[in-house]
Amino acid sequence: MIGNNPHHALLAAQLPHWARRANPGQWGALQASQHAPWQLEDWFDNAAPDLREAVCASQNQLLHAQAALAKALKGLKQISEFAEPLLKGRLAEHGLDTPLLDTQLLRVEHDWHWLGLRHLYSHRRDSLLQAALQNFADDETFRPESAIALGSDIQVVAVEVPGTVPIGMQAPPAHFTLRSERYLVKRLPLAPQAFATLCRELDLGGAYQTHLDQQLARPETRALAVRAQQARLRLAADLAYLRHLLDGASRDEIQRLLQGHPVQCWQLALFGITLHEVMLIDAGAHGLVLHMPGHEPALHPCRDLAAVHATLATLLVEPAERQAFAAYIQQDEQAHFFDMLQQNLDAAGNTAFDRPWPRAAQADLRLTRQAITSEPFGYCHDQYLLRLKHEASLLAVPTAAADASARARRLEAWENLGWDALNAAAFFVPGVGTLMLAVTACQLLGEAVEGYEDWQAGDRQLALRHLEAIGLNLALLGGFVAAGQAVPKLFDSPLMDSLQEVRSNDGRYRLWNQDLAPYRSDVQLPADVHANAQGQYLHEGRLFIRMDRHLYEQRFDDARQQWRIVHPQAAEAWQPPLEHNTQGAWRGEHEQPGDWALETSVRRLGEAYAAFTPEQVEQAGRICGIDSEQLRQVHVEGLPPPPLLLDTLQRLNAQAAVQALGDSAPPGLFQHLYEGNSAVAPAVQQLLDTYPRLTSTLARRMLMRLNAADTATWQAHGKLPAWFGMQLRQLDSELPLVRALEGVVQPAFANDESERLLFSALDALPGWPRDLSLQLRAASPQGPLLARVGSEHASLHSRVIKSAEGYEADLGQRPAPAKRDRDLCRAVAQALPAHARQSLGTAADGNALREHLLGWVAEHRQTLPQRLWGPRAVRPRPTGGLRGGRPLAPLAPEPRQTGSVEGAYRRIYPNASDAEIQAWLGHDEDEPLADDLSSTTQRLRDLHQRLQDLRGDLQRWVQADPARAAQRQPAVRPLVNAWRRLSTLPFAATGRMYSLELSGLGLNGEDLASLALPDDFAHIEHLSLSQNSELSHLPATLAQRFPNLKRLILSDCRFDRVPRLPQPWQLHWLDLDSNRITWDANAQRTLDRYTRLVQLDLSDNPLISAPDLRNLAQLKTLFLSGCSLVELPQGLDQISEPFVLDLASNQFQHLPANFAVTRPVADALRLESEWLGAPVRAQIDAYNAAHQVDLLVSESDYLDFFDETGPDEAALWQRLPLPYRRDLRALLDMEPFQSQPQHARVEFWRRLAVLDADPALRQQGLMRPAQALFTLAL
């Protein structure tokens, strides 16, 4: 998709003719001409200041020299730009006024087919402009079928014609068909022959030769060109000297050359082909200097000519160097040159051009040189002009040189190369050599902006990108660029952001540079002024915030319902809107957090995050499982920051302070720096009593998220808001893993959790030797066993010893201890046998093992808290879309186009994909730009206005009922985020589902009934209103706003009936667990309307009667546990491909008569309940005996036992008594399955096999509880 630039109306008129037809590759070349890569290199930053200043001064001289030449050549035109008006004017004299590029010359040829004894027809079609530029020989004629017509009026029809072949004197001739053509043409009045005569008389090629002379041969232009060439060499010399590529004596020789002193120079040739612009300079006793303008580096010192040859050969084996080298070779010689080059340089002889070539041992480039006897720079300019005129004569052929055969060969060669002659003609001058490319870029910048010579190189490049987006859109409209080619991103940098369209205070739209530097306040805040919970500073009645370490004044805009930055000097200036998360993370609305590095994303979370080092930020990110993309969501969606991030950063910072003091650190310093000395407030202690894993620092910070009323309710009644309870449970779940990882990343924090994590990971890491057992023992090799990985029956045993001083590998050398410190990874790696370290890909220092562990944790982070730290960890609930309850990984970020329209659209919809933007624009592959830029701009304005209207409407909704404002205000942000399509859920394997999350906010039916949303929520497919304990119905007015709803989550509310939706057939997922629904005919009628349900959850409702499922043909997952059911629901036998059918904890009395379901349904059923009577249990046991399916327990409950097993294990399993099999499930929530599932699984089947093989042992084992399997002496 093409990047539409909404600023087109302002800047398009300033684009020169050629810029409206340039393709992305040509724009890229212009960009490269303004690039100064050395400015970003460490070697430049580390160079002496005087050398850096010299380079910058030379760069500035070069830019000004190029700018001066650009101004002098303002009248220089590209071939197409020069020729089109001349040709159009002459055609108008002949009565033809059609578009040149849409009007074509159809040249029809016929060739005699000797075998078929007849003529066959073929054709060629060229636009009139290309035909005129290629010109005509004076003896050319046209067949009557040839014509001039609009391209759409020419129809070429392939036909088959009869051919005749004589076979012999006595035999009849043979007949067969031949392919030919027929032409249906609506001719224009100008005949081809007349057009050819007109072109010869007009002689566009000859006229352009004169034009080039007039522009480039003038003495003043020649002098400016010489100055620009000298400036290029001066910059190259200063850079080479700074990089120590050029010694002082050689630099002095170049300086003498630049000052006009006689210094011998040569022009080079390879294979007899001249290298234009390349110059060999005599450096005297120090050898030679090869100057290759536009190359990086541009100067190559060489001892002699052989070294020059070696330098060129080394460069030309690389594909990028070969591609750049083409700039030194005339266009019509390039194919021959590269053919000769491959024959002589490529050892293989047929390596692809875009791949590095293996260098031939005896490579010979046939290097020759010709002495330059005149002033070198003037000579180079004269040679450039000759080259320019020669290459121009290929694209615009003078009448005197017109030749039909040469033209045919030339066009055929270009077409074979996929070369567009008209495109080259439109971008002719900058496409020849390297000097004029930069000069043309300067011309373009001069047309668009003022004072570009004083900009930084990066700013000039960004300005070119902005113009590029406009030019490419115009080129698309004109058909000069193929759809699908990307435009450079324009709004992701300070300069391009400065061209954002904004609506000023007077209501007019203007372009703003998005640079907040002028808005920085110079007010000095007193030391006793502290930020409030939102990160605002109140000083002398004015509010200030800090962003990226700078202070800004702000005000609240009641109309927009947004905070805005106030200019410190100009009250009438544009006031940039702000976004924030209510907890100190402020950003300009125009900023793109997706462009921020992790360190920036963390720092921008607020002042509390500004003091940490990049290393601490990187470590905390790995410890907490947080990356830039997750923090982008925090910033873009205005979410609270992950609470453990700041906590981990503070702990790392405190530990760094302790380590800096070494042995002199006082006892308890870490605790003092981390926890402080202040007394624990009662509310904090109350939270610590409820969640003992928390620290007082964490508890205190979490309670700051509550308002005063919620805090008072907590202290008085011990009741927390539902949303806050969810956050606390998630925090409590994640904390052990984070503390464990602290000890891995920062060994000083090593603890029991770190040990548990590492030993669990070792069991799962690829390459762990199964014949090895690693033990962690306390105090000595014979001390208590603290942890183990691998079987106790393994043939090899290694040990790590833990003591008060840390960990040490038991290397069998005690009592002389090995190295002992807190680095558990180091000790483990050192303790492993060499073959084990090799298998795991780690060294004895433990760093590689640490990285393996961190990678493993990143891959399994979702399941580790519950698996390693038990029931208090938040465990994902099994659902139909997530096999085995395993959550889907976050979607990988999509590659995104970054043109002007994309950037503007993403300021409204930050997560929009290219496909979504394309659909919004109405683009398709056949019509890539269906609407013009002005309509796109207006549509963007309308979208922005709708967003502002929504914010205003929501604020009025909050204020309409002051008594409910505390419940309604927290809903505003999720509603705005949902409108902006920010809130999504992973869906299936690669998709996403737009969601609206309003859970746990305390909303009631009146809140939702009075919520008048616009018709901009049709994209919402997932709506969650769970844990709103006062919500008893879903207002129809709200439901109508979500016509495409696929998931409705209403858990833990007060519903006593199944809600109705306007489009019930759309719904796939209905979750109504933990409500007050009793099943009746009305409920059944409503359920029957949800014909496409895939998942239904009615658990923990007093249904009493079972729903009839027969109308739910697509149902896969069913939760009806705890519903007081006495009979199975009807329709179970009709479910296909079920995942889970959970009917546990009910009071079923008996199975239906002739109970029969498919095997998949039986496997998925879960009827387990302590209230089942003896009759139904007997029926279930009989069913199992007949079908080997346990109806009490779902097959999915056993899946973790059967990873990497086969038929033998399946048969062994069936030989176990059914009650024993059921009881074995408990092992999955016990050690060693929790921490070392792979080892545990192997040991599990080994033990069962031992019991199975020995009847006496089997009888003894089965008499013990199934949970005791791992304690049996087997």
DSSP state of 910: T
Note the pLDDT of residue 346.
92
Residue recorded with tokens 């684009």: 15
User: For domain 959-1194, which CATH number applies: 3.10.110.10, 3.80.10.10, 3.40.50.920, 2.40.50.140?
Assistant: 3.80.10.10
Question: Position 1150: which residue type?
Answer: H
Note the pLDDT of residue 623.
95
Distance (Å, rounded) from C-alpha 662 to C-alpha 297?
Answer: 48
Residues of the chain with pLDDT below 70 are 1-11, 13-14, 114-117, 448-452, 454-456, 458, 473-474, 476-499, 502, 506, 508-511, 513, 813-817, 870-900, 923-934, 989-990
Q: From the CB of residue 1096, how many other CB atoms can be counted at a distance below 10 Å? A: 25
CB 746, CB 1051: distance < 8 Å? no
CB 736, CB 753: distance < 8 Å? yes
Strand partners, 539: 542
List CB contacts of 675: < 8 A, sequence separation 6 or more: 695, 696, 697
Domain boundaries defined on the chain: 79-101+111-203, 215-395, 492-591, 749-872, 959-1194, 1202-1274
pLDDT tens column, 16-57:
888 887 888 888 888 888 888 888 888 989 999 999 999 999
Distance (Å, rounded) from C-alpha 495 to C-alpha 642?
Answer: 32
Cα-based distances in Å from 48 to 45, 51, 235, 297:
8, 5, 16, 19
Q: Tell me, letter by letter, the H, E, C secondary structure of 314-326.
A: HHHCCHHHHHHHH
Instruction: Using DSSP bridges, classify how beta strands 1069-1071 and 1047-1049 pair: parallel, antiparallel or unpaired.
Output: parallel
The first and second tokens of residue 660, run together, are: 């800096």
The first and second tokens of residue 118, run together, are: 């007849």
List CB contacts of 945: < 8 A, sequence separation 6 or more: none
Distance (Å, rounded) from C-alpha 401 to C-alpha 326?
Answer: 25
Q: Is-above-0.85 flag for pTM? A: no
The first and second tokens of residue 1248, run together, are: 């069962």
CA-based max dimension of the chain? 122
Note the pLDDT of residue 693.
92
Note the pLDDT of residue 816.
62
